[in-house]
């Protein structure tokens, strides 16, 4: 398979074990880890121990379909000379929080960014959990992948599996989302770790509803066919139809790595990303006064650095990704935090979502 078909703006992805194989994942992750090794060896600082190796957090989404890819990713990072911290099933936000907690040089998530049934992806993160994208930090990784870079060190790194207790984990844990209203929520996501965590957080009186599939439709004879909708557009339409059918309070679609989301109000209408940021800024989530921004970066990496430079506490982009300012400074991109804030606001105001948007 040609690398131009493998690489997307935000990493690598494809049909699992068909387009995206364990061999290709090993090659891409080895190129990524090799760059981290070179950065680590070239850095200057008193805290760096002689002979130390860069630490890399490696996580997956728990699907048996992608288990071989996850193993290949961990082995490639070790082979390239990194110490691998295997985190287990995670969404993107938990990976980033772990990178910061243990001061790792980077991390990766074997997830499902395309959000299709049989697809998989690998997303890459650098220092402080900054996402790596093409037209940025991933350019060198892709170049190494294309060249078939040789092993950067002779000795392989170590591997360990452990649960990392992060500030992110303390912020989103059972008991932190105490709701008085019995909200009816239509929820759809290919990110299983995020869905499992959300189910743990919601109180018993809340109802999580899965959307029904859309009915099959055939174009009328002689009528020109319209462009086929994307998987995201189809899933959003499913959620909107179910919100109306079940008179739900809110509909939520989240992508397969737990970053981008679409919020549907109680009328079945999608909330525009800039409107969603303004709504979330009203949330009594903590004592911090919220200031908002709408970042214009075309990639996750560009948006991360744009938000990091400004003074806002909350920002969004056109893809429905919501960035949060954290106590340690760097932005955090996490759809679960978005959902938690929205549920808290709906409960506190006791108003329909359409009223909060208007």
Digit-coded pLDDT (tens) for 231-284: 999 999 999 999 999 999 999 999 999 999 999 999 999 999 999 999 988 875
202 has pLDDT over 50: yes
d(CA 241, CA 326): 35
* CATH 3.40.120.10 domain range(s) in the chain: 3-167, 172-214+230-357
The torsion angle over the Cα atoms of residues 200, 201, 204 and 208, rounded to 10 degrees, is: -80
287 has pLDDT over 60: no
Q: Do 45 and 51 meet the contact criterion of CB atoms below 8 Å apart? A: no
48 has pLDDT over 70: no
**Model-level pTM?**
0.89
* pLDDT tens for each residue of 143-185: 999 988 666 665 666 667 665 555 455 555 555 566 778 899 9
The CATH architecture one would assign to domain 172-214+230-357 is 3-Layer(aba) Sandwich (3.40)
The predicted pLDDT at position 311 comes to 75
The predicted pLDDT at position 219 comes to 64
The predicted pLDDT at position 289 comes to 58
- Looking at the chain, the whole-number percentage of residues with pLDDT higher than 90 is 59
Lowest mean pLDDT among 27-31, 101-105, 188-192: 101-105
Q: List Cα–Cα distances, 34 to 40, 106, 139, 300, in angstroms.
A: 10, 11, 13, 22
d(CA 87, CA 284): 31
Higher per-residue confidence, 310 vs 91: 91
3-167 is classed CATH 3.40.120.10: yes
- Average pLDDT of the residues of the chain: 86
44 has pLDDT over 90: no
102 has pLDDT over 50: yes
Higher per-residue confidence, 159 vs 104: 104
């Amino acid at each position: 398979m040609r690398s131009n078909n493998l690489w997307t703006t935000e990493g690598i992805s494809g049909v699992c074990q068909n387009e995206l194989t364990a061999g290709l994942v090993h090659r891409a992750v080895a190129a990524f880890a090799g760059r981290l090794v070179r950065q680590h060896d070239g850095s200057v600082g008193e805290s760096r121990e002689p002979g130390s190796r860069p630490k890399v957090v490696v996580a997956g989404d728990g699907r048996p379909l992608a288990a071989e890819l996850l193993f290949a990713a961990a082995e490639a990072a070790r082979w390239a000379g990194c110490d691998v911290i295997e985190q287990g099933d995670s969404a993107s936000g938990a990976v980033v929080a772990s990178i910061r907690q243990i001061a790792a040089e980077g991390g990766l998530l074997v997830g499902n960014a395309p959000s299709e049934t049989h697809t998989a992806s690998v997303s890459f993160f650098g220092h402080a959990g900054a996402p790596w994208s093409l037209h940025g930090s991933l350019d060198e990784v892709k170049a190494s992948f294309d060249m078939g870079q040789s092993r950067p060190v002779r000795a392989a790194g170590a591997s360990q599996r452990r649960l990392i207790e992060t500030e992110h984990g303390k912020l989103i844990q059972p008991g932190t989302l105490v709701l008085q209203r019995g909200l009816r929520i239509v929820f759809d996501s290919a990110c299983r770790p995020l869905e499992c965590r959300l189910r743990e957080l919601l109180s018993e009186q809340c109802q999580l509803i899965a959307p029904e599939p859309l009915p099959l439709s055939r174009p009328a004879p002689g009528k020109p066919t319209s462009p086929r909708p994307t998987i995201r557009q189809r899933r959003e339409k499913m959620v909107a139809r179910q919100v109306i059918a079940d008179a739900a309070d809110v509909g939520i679609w989240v992508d397969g790595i737990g970053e981008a989301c679409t919020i549907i109000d109680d009328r079945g209408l999608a909330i525009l990303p800039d409107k969603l940021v303004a709504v979330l800024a009203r949330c009594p989530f903590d004592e911090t006064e919220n200031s908002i921004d709408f970042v214009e970066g075309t990639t996750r990496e560009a948006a991360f650095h744009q938000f990091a430079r400004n003074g806002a506490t909350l920002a969004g982009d056109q893809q429905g990704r919501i960035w949060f300012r954290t106590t340690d400074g760097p932005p955090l991109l996490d759809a679960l935090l978005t959902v938690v804030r929205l549920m808290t606001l709906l409960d506190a105001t006791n108003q329909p979502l359409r009223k909060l948007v208007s």
